[in-house]
């Protein structure tokens, strides 16, 4: 579909604005860095945003939908916005961007491993040590597990591989 120049410009502004929308639990990480933004469409001044849920039962889905809609509607020239969650591709933890992985680590959450390796723990996001243990594969949210660093003697969380 041929897009007009104004539409392309608006698309850029929508993409830019979406970078302001962060994960409600990890306020340094944007939805884009989490790999949740599937598709943005602009038609005239109508915007449609398609997002991937990280977990099917993630209770933050409605909150995120509202945050996205609110931010997009702040853009001048946007008349209305439709935010939908889709699963035409399954979100995987590999979709977290390189920058996103770095920010997770800075926030104190180990980035997800690259394969299903439930018996090994990632290195400690606080001190970098590799002498770590799996405490529990189930953590405070569906997407996180709990580990323990034997070097700095701190429990820490890590994103699960899904």
Partner 1 sequence: MSMVETTRPLTQAYKDALVHLLLVLADDDLAFGHRSSQWLGLAPDLEEDIAFSSIAQDEIGHAAFFYRLVSDLAGEDADALAFARPTQVRKNARLLEQQNGDWAYTIARAYVYNIFEQVRLEALLASNYLPLQQGATKILREERYHRLHMETWFLRLAEAGGEARFRLETAVEHVWADLSDLFTLGNHQHDLIHEGILPTTEQALYEAWLTEVKPMFDRSSLYWPGNRGELTSEDLSGATTAKVDGSTSEEERNGRLGQHSEHLDELLQTMTEVYRSEAGATW
Contact residues for partner 1, defined by CB under 8 A: 53, 55-59, 87-88, 90-92, 116, 118, 135-140, 142, 146, 160, 162
Please, are residues 144 and 160 in contact by the beta-carbon 8 Å criterion? yes
CA 101 to chain centre: 10
CA–CA separation, 3 and 45 (whole Å):
12
Nearer to partner 1, 44 or 140 (CB): 140
Cβ distance to partner 1 smaller for residue 17 or 135 = 135
Nearest CB to partner 1, comparing residues 17 and 148: 148
Please tell me the distance from the alpha carbon of residue 29 to that of residue 45, in angstroms, as a whole number. 28
Nearer to partner 1, 85 or 100 (CB): 85
State the minimum distance, in angstroms, from the CB of residue 88 to partner 1.
Answer: 6
Q: How far is the CB of 128 from partner 1 (least distance, A)?
A: 26
């Amino acid at each position: 579909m041929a897009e007009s120049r104004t539409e392309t410009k608006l698309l850029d502004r929508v993409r830019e604005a979406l970078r302001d929308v962060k994960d409600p639990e990890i306020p340094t990480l944007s939805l884009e860095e989490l790999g949740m933004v599937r598709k943005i469409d602009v038609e005239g001044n109508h915007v449609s945003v398609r997002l991937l849920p990280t977990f099917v039962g993630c209770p933050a889905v409605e909150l995120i939908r509202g945050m996205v809609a609110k931010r997009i509607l702040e853009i001048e020239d946007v008349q209305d916005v439709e935010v939908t969650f889709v699963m035409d591709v399954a979100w995987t933890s590999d979709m977290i961007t390189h920058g996103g992985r770095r920010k997770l680590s800075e926030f104190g959450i180990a980035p997800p491993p690259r394969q299903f390796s439930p018996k090994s723990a990632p290195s400690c996001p606080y001190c970098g040590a590799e002498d770590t243990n799996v405490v529990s594969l189930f953590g405070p949210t569906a997407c996180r597990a709990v580990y323990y660093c034997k070097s700095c003697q701190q429990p820490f969380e890590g994103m699960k591989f899904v």
